[in-house]
Amino acid sequence: MSDFGLILENHYAGLPDDFYTKMPAEKVGERPRLIHANPKAAALLDLDPAVFGDPRFVDVVSGHAPLENFEALAMVYSGHQFGVWAGQLGDGRALMIGQARNRDGELWDIQLKGAGKTPYSRFGDGRAVMRSTIREYLCSEAMAGLRIPTSRALAIVATGETVMREAPEPGAVLTRLARSHVRFGHFEHFFHRGEKDKVRVLADHVIAEYFPNMIGDHAAWYGEVVRRTAVMVAQWQAVGFAHGVMNTDNMSILGLTLDYGPYGFLDAYDPQFICNHTDTQGRYSFINQPVIAHWNLRALALALSDLIPTETLIEKLATFEGHFGGTYHGLMRAKLGLTREVEGDNKLIGGLLGLMNKTRADYTLSFRNLTGEDAGWLKLFGEANVDAESWLSRYRVRTESEDLSGLDRINPKYVLRNWVAETAIRAVEDHNDIATLDRIFRLMQAPFETHDGDEAFAAPPPPNMCDLEVSCSS
């Protein structure tokens, strides 16, 4: 037992020394200040939220004090970035400060993001800015609220420092949680260095902790990674989420949504949507995400090619399309309340997406408002849109015998639109307005509910927020 009643295990440190560097945090800033903390994330660690008021808690989540009985460490990995081999990367601004085992037996990584330089920072400063910290804090909880596998967010601390990005910005440290932060790039790192024995060591470590029913069966494990990744990306597509930087070093071996940078939820439906203005070629556009996930899984397969026969890897990778297609198709049917398979359903779904694309209708509201008045739904598609009226007429006939009462538990009212995240950022940075951050945070944790007085946050961006851009520094 350690600080705050956490049951800590130095599990990852049981691997050989060249998997990580043990080091303390840099103690960024002189007077760290807690901005926000998350009771739901604390519950994952069996952590009493009362500790949020403990000055030592602020010291720990800012990197100013270690957790007792745990040596912090930064992990090394490599990866393909925008399809190009980038070589050694690693935790350049992240530090694992603990691994806690909860009462359910789950092991959770506790990681600080922005607590200073590590040996893997390359030319970076190891810092994080308040803007990107708030974005990740909000979005990881938004994805959890949408029931999509994700890392979680425990706390935000203001460091009091100024950090240089495109312009000077206030610094912050994020405490995030994940069942594991191991990425595809961990395996690539050792494979491409010719250290094939360490690929096996890492695979066996991951399987023993997170896939215990597959111990000794590397092929089945890789097949499960394929399945989880396909399901996760299908869920992204169904809610209109674009990750923005699907490098192999940002792909979780557990099929979690990791590393929230230049993400974006669709406002107007556009399959070619590129949320990251750094992505000048559109490699990570919304429509490309399934293809890129498959590409990344192929890169992982190469890294595992000394553990698993090539023909078996090809066979397992080939299951991606079925897992993705089956999941996505099921999710889209559910969004329209189509519980019975009827000929013409695919045409009905495709017809709606085509109509939304043509008119640039709002993606989230086009589904959510199906349970409202027809006139309100039709307004999303412009005045007197004959195509929209025709589609709605066909949909009402098709669903006469379907129970649509549960659609509002499937189609969210709130997603973390960029303008909503920006509202929280400006509130904190410009006015130290934590109440607005908290208000938006609570909406994201309950996205299917109606929150009286907060309907504005369900709307498309206002005119002054229409041209927001995010990049890899976000």
Neighbours of 293 (CB within 10 A): 23
Kindly give the interhelix angle for 218-239 and 320-335, rounded to the nearest 10 degrees: 30
Contact 34, 61 (CB under 8 A): yes
DSSP-derived secondary structure for 220-254: HHHHHHHHHHHHHHHHHHHHTEE-S---GGG-BTT
Closest by CA to 260, choosing from 252, 269, 268, is 252
Neighbours of 389 (CB within 10 A): 13
Two tokens, residue 70: 């745990």
Residues 6+ apart with CB under 8 A from 394: 348, 351
Integer Cα distance of 109 and 465 in angstroms? 36
Integer Cα distance of 64 and 33 in angstroms? 11
Contact 240, 265 (CB under 8 A): yes
Tell me the torsion sign for CA atoms 145, 151, 155, 160: negative
Report the catalytic residues: 249
Residues 6+ apart with CB under 8 A from 291: none
